[in-house]
Amino acid sequence: MAETVVYKRKKGRLLAIIAGIVVLAGGAGGLLYWKGIIGNRPEIVAAAITAAAHERGFDGAMITVSQDWVANVTGSVIGQVKKDELLALIQQNPNIKGVTSELTVRPGPGELEQQVADALAAHGLQAVQVSVGADLVATLKGTVDDPALETVALDTARSVIGLRDVQSAIKLSIQARQAALTQALTGAGYEHATAQIVDENSVNVTGNVYSQEEKDRLAALVSSTTGIATVNDTTQIVERPPVVDAAKFEADINRLLQKAGLGTVAAVVDENMNATLVGTVNSGADRDRALKTARKVTAIKSLRSEIEVASAAPAPAPVATVVQENMALNAVKGQWVGRVDTGLFGYTFTLKITGGAAGQDVGTSVYGAGNGMCGGSLTLAEASGSDFTFTEHLDRTAMMCPGGGTLKMKLAGDGKALFEWYRPKNPTKRYAKGSAVRR
């Protein structure tokens, strides 16, 4: 008869196996935790929050998390609004129990826009508006009456810290562009042509030119000066008139006066061929003889006498000085166009010297384009060789105008002239300098 034998596993051995399995599972879990595969660790959470912040555009921020789950954020953001957004993003993480901030808050677009606007207003540029984009690039808009003011506006905006760039969309007013256009035509020698800005899209040009090349250059000058592409050019090409040299005819008259024994009389001939006789004679007959002598030069258009008749002949030195001054001033008669440098700002200037004796008004000055932001008259104080000194009297003034005192002019060897300006209150300290060419 067969027996069935039943083997029973010892209970103690089974419990040992189960305990081993539990220990192995616990060790593996701990390893996975410290490897960051399971569970949350501060550095893993910090990396995840930093990545999320960078995805939202907070590239300048870095987040760390302490063992007690307090987040600390460093770096920089633009504006208080962005700072609040970043702190809110960090606090959204369920592991974070608190947030500390060491962020640097840079001015945002709105704050920079206000700073630029305030700076422009402080310089009297209320007509210039500013907008600052999210890229911290400022754009200036508006209309000004002088190109120099656009330069001032750009320099003012660039002085505001925090902007990445400053761009200009400033326009010159039509009146200012018209003045600049008229000055440009005169400076380029187009005395018999005129240009009128119709509107923002077209300019009418009329008058006479002397060649097709001049006609083409005129149209290009009008377009570049105004920024308007459409130029309605109806100028006519005519034969160039003979060149009249006023200085030559002035010298001819003075030679005839010297030959006639009238050395105490001098002639001054302007660019329009109008002659004036100055000096002193002993009698009315000598005055009439001087006028008759001057009329032998038939090229002059008009003749005027400022000759004084004295009972006794004056000492020759004063008259010789007058003649010398007039002859010296002839070397600089004409229109001089250049640029003033004050050390802070620069802008154009135009001097028109017509001639005359010491103590007389011999020209005018204009600072800035067109009619300029300021200008006045020039009185000759001294003329000696290549050096000239003028007293300037302003009838139009502005904050940045250098005039209103003493203006010194010196002819340079290259055909240019050098200028220095001195204030009336401090006549020994130079306020500005510049150079110009005759046009």
- The pLDDT score that the predictor gives to residue 79 is 75
Alpha-carbon distance of 244 to 118, in angstroms, equals 55
Domain boundary among 84, 106, 128: 106
Alpha-carbon distance of 64 to 22, in angstroms, equals 35
- H or E segment at 290? helix 284-294
Domain presence at residue 205: yes
- The pLDDT score that the predictor gives to residue 322 is 55
Average pLDDT, the chain: 82
- The pLDDT score that the predictor gives to residue 334 is 85
- Give the phi and the psi of residue 80 in degrees, each rounded to 5: -65, -35
Range of the domain at 147: 109-172
- Using an 8 Å Cβ cutoff, are 349 and 436 in contact? yes
Question: Tokens in use for 314?
Answer: 């004056």
CA quadruple 208, 209, 212, 218: dihedral sign = negative
Tally of structural domains, the chain: 5
Looking at the structure, tell me whether residues 254 and 188 fall in a common domain.
no
Question: Tokens in use for 64?
Answer: 């760390």
DSSP letters of 85-104? HHHHHHHTSTT--EEEEEEE
- Using an 8 Å Cβ cutoff, are 89 and 49 in contact? yes
Domain presence at residue 284: yes
Whether residue 180 has pLDDT greater than 50: yes
Alpha-carbon distance of 167 to 116, in angstroms, equals 13
Does pTM top 0.85 for this prediction? no
- For the stretch 136-158, pLDDT in tens is 899 999 988 888 888 999 999 99
Domain presence at residue 5: no
Whether residue 227 has pLDDT greater than 60: yes
- The pLDDT score that the predictor gives to residue 398 is 67
Looking at the structure, tell me whether residues 191 and 141 fall in a common domain.
no
Looking at the structure, tell me whether residues 404 and 352 fall in a common domain.
yes
Looking at the structure, tell me whether residues 118 and 89 fall in a common domain.
no
CATH number at residue 76: 3.30.1340.30
Domain presence at residue 372: yes
Domain boundary among 237, 257, 284: 237
Looking at the structure, tell me whether residues 356 and 428 fall in a common domain.
yes
The order of strands in the sheet holding 128-132 is 128-132, 137-144, 165-172
Candidates 226, 405, 434; CA nearest to 346 is 434
Looking at the structure, tell me whether residues 89 and 142 fall in a common domain.
no
Looking at the structure, tell me whether residues 167 and 184 fall in a common domain.
no
Looking at the structure, tell me whether residues 160 and 94 fall in a common domain.
no
- Average pLDDT of span 148-170: 91
Domain presence at residue 326: no
Alpha-carbon distance of 323 to 346, in angstroms, equals 37
Looking at the structure, tell me whether residues 187 and 150 fall in a common domain.
no
| Pairing outcome for strands 406-411 and 70-78 | unpaired
- Give the phi and the psi of residue 370 in degrees, each rounded to 5: 65, -130
CATH number at residue 428: 2.40.128.20
Domain presence at residue 86: yes
Alpha-carbon distance of 264 to 356, in angstroms, equals 16
Q: Which residues pair with 75 in a beta bridge?
A: 61, 103
Looking at the structure, tell me whether residues 346 and 424 fall in a common domain.
yes
- The pLDDT score that the predictor gives to residue 12 is 55
Domain presence at residue 270: yes
- For the stretch 361-400, pLDDT in tens is 888 888 876 666 788 888 888 887 788 999 888 887 766 6
Looking at the structure, tell me whether residues 429 and 372 fall in a common domain.
yes
Looking at the structure, tell me whether residues 362 and 434 fall in a common domain.
yes
